[in-house]
Amino acid sequence: MIESTKFQIIKFIMIISVIIGLAFSQVHIAAVSLLFVREIGFYLFLFVFSSVIYLAILFGFRSWDRASVVQTVLAALATVLTGGYTILLFIQDRADPRSVDFSEISLSFSLIVATVIIYFIGTVALLITAKKSSRGLK
């Protein structure tokens, strides 16, 4: 059992960020309905779905063992990659002359970018603090 205060704080921040990201799903759906690249909806769904899986794995991450680390890394990787690809599709849609004005989708785009960054940095920080805590380092 990892009892480091830093670990618990980072884990709490990550859980809250996933829940907030899920709460803003409606913003993303509204933005996707305005875009011409049809794959965005699919990858947005994968991003939200992998976020839910990541949330469940974060709740269960209590000790530094191979299974917990592998699950956390794989879930974070799936979430960050699907989010990153969704961002890429948003950017590609901007190249289409029929594309909507960026101001109409900027909130969704910004939230996805922020969420991907938080997931990536948070996962790295979570794993570092978990490893240090398992070794008894502060």
Q: How confident is the model over 85-137, as pLDDT tens digits?
A: 999 998 888 877 778 888 888 999 999 999 999 999 999 999 998 888 877 66
The answer to whether 72 and 126 are in contact (CB under 8 A) is: yes
Q: Enumerate the domain spans of the chain.
A: 5-134
Chain centroid offset of residue 4 CA:
23
Report pTM: 0.87
What fold, for 5-134? Four Helix Bundle (Hemerythrin (Met), subunit A) (1.20.120)
Cβ-Cβ contacts under 8 Å for 107 (sequence gap 6 or more)? 27, 31
